[in-house]
Amino acid sequence: MATVAEVLQKQVEEGRVLLRARPLDKDRYEAWWEIVRDAYARAFGETSKEMRELAAAHRPITVAYDLDPSYYLTQVGANLRREMKILEQGAMAAKTKAAAAAEAPSGIPVAIFPESGGTLGKKLAVFLKGAGAEPAIVAMEPDGSLPSWVAGGEAKRLGGAVVVLTPEAAGKGKPPRPSAESLFLLGVAAGALGADHVCAVSESAVELPAAAKEIASATAEDPAKLGEVLLGCLGAWAAARG
C-alpha cells in the first residue's frame, strides 16, 4: 500500500499531465482533486495550515460547465496551477517527514504529561508510538498528586518526557501563558530528567517563562513542525542513551 508521501508525489506527476492536456479533462481533474485533498488531510491534518493553504487555492468556479464549457475549464486550469504550487511543496514536506520517521530510533520510553481535560496528550502518544517510541501517559494519583516514581530514581529509565501545556489568559494585550499546573509539571519533568530531555507541546502558542526557554517546544497548530520537533527530540534522547 502506498504511503501518503508516495500518493502526493504521484498526484504531482498526474497534475503535470493534466496541465498539458488540451482541452483540460474535467472529470479527470475532479478525481485528481479528491485524491489530493484526502492525502493532504492525512498528511497534515484537516485543520492544519497546509490544508488551509490548499483550500484557498481551490477557488469556487463562477459558471456552470453546461452553460460555458470553455470559461469553466479556464477557471479549472487556473485552480489547477495554484493547487500544483501548493501540492509540490506539500509533497516535499511529506517526503521529508516520512524519511525522518523512518530514521527515528525505536524503543525509547517517553512519559507524556497530558493537559487538563484535553485530548492532545493521547494524540501525541499515538504519534510517538508510530515513530517507534514507547509512550506512556502519566496518570495522576487519586488525590491529584504525581506518582511517586516521577520524582524518584525510576524516572531515569525514561528517554524523555513530553509535557502538554494548558494555556490560560494572561491579561489584556498579553499572549496566553501556560497554567501554573502545566509549569509545575514542566519543572518536575526537567528536574527529574534534565531540560534537554523534555519537550513542551501546546494546542496554540503560549509565552514560556525565561527559565523554560531552553526546553524544546512546538504547537499543534503546525503539525508538520510539531512532528519535526518530536522526531528531533527522539533522536537526541536516543543518542544520549548511547
pTM, two decimals, is 0.60
Give the residue carrying C-alpha cell 493534466.
18
Query: Are 111 and 216 members of one domain?
Result: yes
Same-domain pairing of 130 and 221: yes
Residue that terminates a domain, selected from 69, 101, 133: 101
Residues 111 and 198 in one domain: yes
| Helix 223-240 / helix 120-130 crossing angle, nearest 10 deg | 60
- Angle, helices 4-20/26-44, rounded to nearest 10 degrees: 150
Do 192 and 92 reside in the same domain of the chain?
Answer: no
**128, 153: one domain:** yes
Residues 89 and 178 in one domain: no
Parent domain of 145: 105-240
- For residue 182, the domain's CATH number is 3.40.50.880
Number of structural domains found in the chain: 2
pLDDT of amino acid 242:
61
Question: pLDDT tens digit string along 54-99?
Answer: 999 999 999 999 999 999 999 999 999 999 999 999 999 888 777 7
Ordered DSSP codes for 175-225: --EE-HHHHHHHHHHHHHH-GGGEEEEESS-----GGGTTSEEEETTSHHH
Average pLDDT, the chain: 86
Report pLDDT for 151: 58
11: amino acid identity, one letter = Q
Q: When comparing pLDDT for 3 and 53, which is higher?
A: 53
- pLDDT, tens digit, 9 for 90 and up, residues 128-170: 888 888 998 887 777 666 676 665 666 678 889 999 999 887 6
Model confidence over 3-39: pLDDT tens digits? Answer: 888 999 999 999 999 999 999 999 999 999 999 999 9
Closest by CA position to 124, among listed 33, 231, 7, 43: 231
Predicted confidence at residue 5, as pLDDT, reads: 87
pLDDT value of residue 100: 65
Sign of CA dihedral 105, 107, 108, 110: positive
